[in-house]
Amino acid sequence: MTFVVRSVEPQTEGAKAFLAKRRKQLFIGGAWVDAAGGDTFPTKDPATGVVLADIAKGGAADVDAAVAAARKAFDGGEWPSLTPMQRSRLLWTLADLIEANIDELAELETLDQGKPLYVGRWAEIPGAVNQFRYYAGLATAIEGRTIDSSINYQPASKQVASWTLREPVGVVAAIVPWNSPLVLTAMKLAPALAAGCTVVLKPAEDTSLTAVRLAELVQQAGFPAGVLNLITGLGGEAGAALAAHPDVDKVAFTGSTPTGRAILDAAKGNLKKVSLELGGKSPVVILPDADLDLAIPGAANAIFFNAGQVCVAGSRLYAHRSIYDRVVEGVAAQARGLQLGHGLDPATHMGPLVSRKQADRVAGFVAGAAAAGAEVLTGGVQGGDEGTFVTPAVVARVTPDMAIVREEVFGPVVVVQAYDEIDEVVAAANDSEYGLAASIWTESLSHAHRLSRRIKAGTVWINCHSMYDNSLPIGGVKASGWGRDSGQVALDGYLEWKTVCAVV
């Protein structure tokens, strides 16, 4: 693939002003500071290779300082004395500030990550706003219970009273990935703050810009010092130090399954709580009675949205043999019709991969499958000025043991397979270490209900894919993680139960 990526400059004054200050600092204890070692690393536009900013390279000493600031803010000072209503108001104020700067944030996300502008502007940044508003509402609805116990001990003129309290977990390490930085940050930060926790945020090294801007907005909103602390840096250094830190009470992580396992190992030192939203290899199952005018573009969007850099991407497509040819031809046509380019170019449907390393990895999966005997119907070609683009690929004639079928590619690559019987496709869909999500395409309500129960996944969509709402839990089973983001259940993950039993 040979094409020249047209560089597009940001249009908002906010993004221009933010990028004009080249050096980005850490945010610790309410102050902007350089990393202890003074080191920085560049963050680049993945489409062009242009350096956007120099990011502070935080290390273990900076993590220590950030955790100490978070601990101080949690244990004393203004934050623990705020009422739930006051926390709610701060979250509402932050949501309003994000919304007021939505165009700037969308541009920064596109420049840093590569996604088309419309993805951030109309989906992900509004999603972050809604997360903060949703948990602002829940901040005043945290309740314990009065329990009528069966304790027999009853001293004269006394009685036993029992109740429970909900209390914040403490200091939270929020470690977020590079594919959807701001909205995934909001999924950790909003419930943690609503619960009354303090947070040390570690964004992915490839996409730190919107995290820095968010910390500025947190400061502007009036949150007390130390409630949010930002450590930018490398995952193997700052991220590892944060996950293992003895004064962190919980790690909330979204990312790959191998990194999730490493975090579990690091967390065992002080038995800190851990929530993990990890990898996926999500099946898309199209039944013979499906509305193909809906299912074909739906299946294509399930894998090619955000260049396939989505944890729930529908990367395994199963179509009934009676409709297989039409489905495969349709999805391949959708892939060929996507315009690749810079995310700020209005003509762009799909941007680059986040980095050359990621593009090499994705293209390598396709080449490896072809060498093993698979048929690449379209795509899988790497190119662009920086080699960060990979054309959307549809791969057929695969076998269940191929790496492209079993491993998370995290790119615009879908493998297509035919099936004959329902039991056969259920077994194939479940034949994976992952269990994050799945979608079923059918006009039969009975089939939809039955299959949604049989497929092992944290989320099952019917006649849609990647549909989200703040009230709906997100997370997986098997190697796709522990715990949930979003919804009431996510707030519960940042709260402890305390039992009180009194003779009164």
| CA-wise closest residue to 409 among 299, 314, 276 | 314
Dist CA 159 CA 55 (whole Å):
61
C-alpha–C-alpha distance, residues 128 and 111, integer Å? 18
Measured CA to CA, the distance from residue 3 to residue 160 in angstroms comes to: 77
Rounded to 5 degrees, φ, ψ at 350 are -140, 130
Residue 225, both tokens: 């010092």
Please identify, in words, the CATH class of the domain defined by 283-470. Answer: alpha beta
Percent of the chain residues past pLDDT 90, beyond the cut: 95
**CA 175 to each of CA 195, 198, 257, 318, 356: distance values in angstroms, whole numbers, following the listed order:** 18, 14, 13, 34, 22
Paired strand residues for 376: 395
Q: Which three-class secondary structure state does DSSP give residue 36?
A: coil
Which parts of the chain sit beneath pLDDT 70?
A: 1-4
Widest distance between CA atoms in the chain: 89
Dist CA 279 CA 275 (whole Å): 13
Can you tell me the distance from the alpha carbon of 354 to that of 179, in angstroms, rounded to the nearest whole number? 8
Q: Please choose, from the candidates 72, 68, 59, 28, the residue with its C-alpha nearest in 3D space to the C-alpha of residue 218.
A: 28
Task: Encode pLDDT of 305-363 as tens digits.
Answer: 999 999 999 999 999 999 999 999 999 999 999 999 999 999 999 999 999 999 999 99
DSSP string covering 435-482, please?
ESEEEEE-S-HHHHHHHHHHS--SEEEES-SS---TTS-B--EETTEE
Place of tokens 């609503």: 194
CATH superfamily, region 13-278+481-500 = Aldehyde Dehydrogenase; Chain A, domain 1 (3.40.605.10)
Coil, strand, or helix at residue 498? Answer: strand
Cα 242 to Cα 171: distance, rounded to the nearest angstrom? 11
What positions carry a catalytic annotation? 277
Tell me the domain boundaries of the chain. 13-278+481-500, 283-470
Q: Is 145 helix (H, G, I), strand (E, B) or coil?
A: coil
Give the start-end residues of each E strand in 189-302. 198-202, 228-230, 250-254, 273-277, 283-286
Enclosing H/E stretch for 181? helix 181-195
Can you tell me the distance from the alpha carbon of 486 to that of 66, in angstroms, rounded to the nearest whole number?
Answer: 25
3-state secondary structure of 421: coil
CA neighbours closer than 13 Å in the CB half-sphere of residue 101: 25
CA-nearest of 53, 3, 43, 12 to 348 is: 3
Beta-carbon contacts of residue 472 (< 8 Å; ≥ 6 apart): 459, 486, 487
Strand 393-396 and strand 146-147: pairing? unpaired
Residue 77 has a pLDDT of 84
Q: How many CB atoms lie within 10 A of CB 335?
A: 22
Q: For residue range 149-175, what is the model confidence (pLDDT) as tens digits?
A: 999 887 888 999 999 999 999 999 999
